[in-house]
Amino acid sequence: MSQSFSNNINSLNTTVNFTAVDERSNILAWLSPLEPGLRHKDIQESRIENVGEWVLETEEFKSWYASSGGSGLDNAVLSCYGGPGVGKTFIRY
């Protein structure tokens, strides 16, 4: 193989690898332009102690917790729903 041909192949490989990595970054940025890691950190730092604690005191929660074996981690699922801006994100447990 000639030196010129080999250099062209190496150059092509570098270009292809760079393009694939660059394209992956562009796709990830397109999928998640809000940078969820930074958003999570901001929200975590903005939480206020004991917000939403009242939920843990309701009979509904206590019943759900008891039926899940007391750990809340078995097969039980707890869903928190509500409209935008009602504070679901900031509930701290």
pLDDT of residue 16: 47
Predicted TM-score (pTM) of this structure: 0.42
Q: How many CB atoms lie within 10 A of CB 13?
A: 10
pLDDT of residue 44: 86
pLDDT of residue 37: 84
Per mean pLDDT, which range of 2-6, 27-31, 66-70 is the poorest?
2-6
Instruction: Output the DSSP codes for 7-70.
Output: HHHHHHHHHHHHHHHHHHHHHHHHH-TT-HHHHHHHHHHH--TTTTHHHHTSHHHHHHHHHTTT
Query: What's the mean pLDDT when you consider all of the chain?
Result: 74
Average pLDDT over residues 69-90: 75
Average pLDDT over residues 53-77: 77
The residue extents of the domains of the chain are: 1-33, 48-93
